[in-house]
Homo-oligomer: A and B are copies of this chain.
């Protein structure tokens, strides 16, 4: 989420290769030189692809080891570099994956700030091209996006406080968790305050996390109450 006051990133950590092969992998990756840069990368899609891309962003691109998210000069450059690494990894793996009918595609969210430049937030498509969050559409989603979108549509506002936005992200992910078993805690939440170029809050919420459970229960109960308060349609009066 791109807010007036900063950025909020949230991701789950469930990876699956079929329902009989479920694991926990972090999908939120931090590239920080405190005070000079903070770049956060969220990943979705094929795990081999995302791990390979993130390794290259960390250690330097293949064939150009001097290019990494620690050296890139702009956030636009960071988005472009992620797209480039993604294109190379998928181009290398696709011919082999195709013979197995496997999907090696992946997508990313890349956001942050480099000292002296403005805060930016990008979404990198599986083809390596990318879009940027703007005033009109201040949030981006990757992976299993739909279940959690209605709450973002209704509640999210770029003027909201950073912890308000973190709460909103948690509610959105909680709705997704309840609808799709391929999304699950631990959740990773990272809050960035504008112009600081360092992590403000990084929190991991485990399955049994008290705050996560409180939000989930209070939200669920509130929804049911809210629903009960809605008037029934009058055109059913004859049968009810």
* Cβ of A99 to closest chain B Cβ, rounded Å: 23
Q: Bound state CA distance, A233 and B189, in angstroms?
A: 11
* Cβ of A33 to closest chain B Cβ, rounded Å: 20
User: Chain A 211-240 against B: per-residue CB contact (8 Å), 1 yes, 0 no?
Assistant: 100110011101110110111111110111
Size bracket of the A interface: 35 or more
Q: Bound state CA distance, A236 and B149, in angstroms?
A: 24
Residues of B within 8 A of A161 (CB): 240
How would you classify the secondary structure of chain A's contact residues: helix, strand, loop or mixed?
helix
Chain A residues engaging chain B, CB cutoff 8 angstroms: 146-147, 149-151, 153-155, 161-164, 166-168, 170-171, 175, 178-179, 189, 191, 193, 200-201, 203, 211, 214-215, 218-220, 222-224, 226-227, 229-236, 238-240
Residues of B within 8 A of A220 (CB): 154
Q: Bound state CA distance, A189 and B234, in angstroms?
A: 13
What copy number does this chain have within its complex?
2
Residue of B nearest to A189 (CB): B233
Q: Is A231 touching B214 in the complex (CB atoms < 8 A)?
A: yes
Residue of B nearest to A175 (CB): B150
Q: Is B149 touching A179 in the complex (CB atoms < 8 A)?
A: yes
Residues of B within 8 A of A166 (CB): 232-233, 236
Q: Is B203 touching A233 in the complex (CB atoms < 8 A)?
A: yes
Task: Beyond A168-B227, A191-B239, list 20 extra A-B contacts (CB 8 Å).
Answer: A147-B150, A150-B175, A151-B223, A151-B227, A155-B223, A161-B240, A163-B236, A166-B233, A167-B227, A167-B230, A167-B232, A167-B233, A170-B233, A189-B233, A203-B236, A211-B235, A214-B231, A215-B230, A222-B226, A223-B223
